[in-house]
Amino acid sequence: MVARVAPTLRLLTDAERQASLLATLAQRPAGDAWLFGYGSLIWNPTIHHVERRVAHIRGWRRDFCLSVRAGRGSADYPGLVLGLDTGEECTGVAYRIGEDVLHAELELVWRREMVAGSYIPRWVDVMDGNGVRFGSAIAFTIDIACEQYAGALERQELVERLATATGVLGSSADYLFRTCAGLRECGIVDEELERLAAEVSARQQRDGAI
């Protein structure tokens, strides 16, 4: 689908994805394997897991820093999805994956997240609400060297792109609204994301009033 909609975008081969997965697993710390969700993995995890917990990580922040010309956008109207960019902290959801299905489940995650190599998978410490570490999780951090990196957009452009971009998987606005809803359902309120959702909604309402 991505190759058809964005033919100039270089996609990872199956061999490259498998090599990335194996390299990540080779760096696995001792203990259970967790996956950290901060965007669509919260409201659409599509993985088998044996435990789910609200988790905090440090050194990264949730940000609409990945430009997409397929899925949630198009070549003429690129959309935006979330990535983890460097920052203070992020609260999301951690999924513990059973050892018996770990490789198979992560292969599915890699097919979903590592389509074009825009992310760098890393192991990060995950902590509970008291700041106590309970494990290590894979987190997909943004590769600032990739051509799709869109960090530090002007606020007006950020809101405009989120409000207007649509692709075969839906709109960027829907992705934003679902993420806010998913976070709230977990008892997490991301004030910056909520402000952004309000601005995007207002922008869409102005279009509807014309």
Residues acting as catalytic residues: 113
Please report where in the chains the tokens 């697993």 appear, as a residue.
25
C-alpha–C-alpha distance, residues 58 and 88, integer Å: 6
CA 33 to chain centre: 18
Which string of b and e fits 109-136 if b means at least 16 CB within 10 Å? bbeebbbbbbbbbbbbebbeeeeeebbb
* CA geometry: angle 25, 119, 40, nearest 5 deg: 95
Q: Sign of dihedral through CA atoms 174, 178, 180, 181?
A: positive
C-alpha–C-alpha distance, residues 187 and 10, integer Å: 38
Of 142, 92, 84, residue with least CA distance to 117: 142
